[in-house]
Structure 1
Amino acid sequence: MPYPEGHKLKVRGKIIESAAQAFRTHGIRDISVPNIMKGAGLTHGGFYSHFDNKEQLVAEACRYAINDTIALLQEAAGQEQQGPGIHAVIDYYLSQEHRDITELGCILPALSAEISRSSDEVRQVFTRELERMIEFISLTAGIDKDKGGVVLSTLVGTLVLARSVNDPVLSDSLLSSGKQQAKALISA
């Protein structure tokens, strides 16, 4: 019996979603294709009918994860009722929730260090997705792209450090200070 129309696309989507969650949590190098496929509820034998290699999957997972993050941040901005939407974006991005739930968080702080050592294909996709995030921040804040890049860099760097330390008080302090600095950058 043949698969229904759209089945292969749906399965591919499940693999990309599983990969994005796994990469956000464990990084690229420390997660295997069989683990990704298992996370999607599939056997690893079918991987190559959807992707040429793991690098192609990394690129697709980056696109997926940035789309996911932008959607979450747009939702946060849309719920802001008392101030600029960008403040809600900053508050969410540098929240304890975003810090602690890495598998659903922004892929930029999770993978930037590894991406710098990846193939040109992956780096090209990552670059385009980073540019989309800068564009989103810039449009939401009503600032130019240069300033948007600085704000995003502040957010990503703050989140990396807040996730890296084992002192919860220091981590929370970093998040709080990062929020203040990012908001000050927009106002400057």
Structure 2
Amino acid sequence: MPYPAGHKLKVREQIITSAARAFRTNGVRNISLPFIMKGAGLTHGGFYAHFKNKDQLVIETFHFAITDTIKLLQSVADKKADQPRIEMIIEFYLSSVHRDQTEVGCILPALAGEISQLSLDVRKAYTDELKRFMEFIADAGNIDLSKSYALVSSMIGTIALARAVNDSQFSDQLLLAGRIQAKGILEAK
């Protein structure tokens, strides 16, 4: 009996969603294809019906994950009309909620430390998605790209360090300092 129309696309989306959760939490190199497929509720034998290799999955997952993060940040920014959108984004991005929910958080800080050790194609995809995220931040804050580069770099560094340390009070202090500095970048001439 043939699968219904759209079945293959739905399964592909399940695999990418599982990969995004896994990569956000554990990085790329530490995650096996069987682990990703199990997370999608599938056996690993079906992977190659959807992707030619792990790099293709990683590349498509980057695009999915950044699209997901942008949608989330847009919804956060839209919640309070009385506060500047970019400030709402900074407050959420550099929050304990975002820090603690790595499986649905931004993939950029999760992979920043290992991306340079992956293939050129994967690094290009990461670079393209980082640029896309920086353009989103520039638009959301009505700031130029140069200021967005500084702001996003500060935000990614802050959340990466806040996730890395084992002292929760220190982590909270890093987040607070990061929020203050990020807002200072906005105000700089």
Distance 2:80 2:72 in 1: 13
CA distance in 2 between counterparts of 1:114 and 1:20 reads 15
Instruction: Determine the C-alpha separation between the residues in 2 that align with 1:124 and 1:164.
Output: 25
- Report the alpha carbon displacement of residue 31 of structure 1 after superposing the two structures with TM: 0.9
Q: What corresponds to 1:115 in structure 2?
A: 115
> Which ranges in structure 1 are unaligned for 5 or more consecutive residues?
none
Deviation at 1:131, TM superposition (A): 0.6
Partner of 1:102: 102
Q: Which amino acid aligns with 2:117?
A: R
Q: CA deviation at 1:121?
A: 1.1
AA partner of residue 161 (structure 1): L
What does residue 154 of structure 1 align with?
154
TM-score (norm 1): 0.98
Q: Distance in 2 between matches of 1:60 and 1:3?
A: 24
Give 1:16's aligned residue.
16
TM-score by length of 2: 0.98
Residue 25 of structure 2 aligns to which amino acid in structure 1? T
- Identity among equivalent pairs (%): 57
* Residue of structure 2 in register with 1:126 after alignment: 126
Q: How far apart, CA to CA, are the structure 2 residues paired with 1:140 and 1:113?
A: 26
Question: Once the 2 structures are TM-superposed, how far is the Cα of residue 116 of structure 1 from its aligned partner?
Answer: 1.1
Equivalent position SS for 1:57: helix
Which moves more between the two structures, 72-81 or 94-103? 72-81
Q: Which amino acid aligns with 2:4?
A: P
Which aligned pairs between 1:169-180 and structure 2 lie closer than 5 A? 169-180=169-180
Shift of residue 81, structure 1, vs aligned partner: 2.7
Shift of 1:83: 1.8
The residue type paired with residue 92 of structure 1 is F
Matched to 2:127, the amino acid is: T
Residues 56-114 of structure 1 show CA distances to partners (whole Å, capped at 9, x for unaligned) of: 11111111110010001001111123221100000000010100010000000001121
The amino acid of 1:45's aligned partner reads G
- Give, in whole Å, the separation in 1 of the partners of 2:5 and 2:125: 29
Q: Deviations over 1:109-133 (max 9, x none)?
A: 0011211111111111111110111
Amino acid at match of 1:88: M
Aligned-partner residue type, residue 90 of structure 1: I
In structure 2, the residue matched to 1:7 is 7
Amino acid at match of 1:122: V
What letter corresponds to residue 122 of structure 2 in structure 1? Answer: V
- 1:116 counterpart SS class: helix
Q: CA RMSD in A?
A: 0.7
1:67 maps to 67
Q: Number of aligned pairs?
A: 188
Rounded Cα–Cα distance in structure 2 between residues aligned with 1:122 and 1:35 = 20
For 1:182, the equivalent position in structure 2 comes to 182
- For structure 2, the residue ranges without an aligned partner over 5 or more in a row are none
Partner residue of 2:47?
A: 47
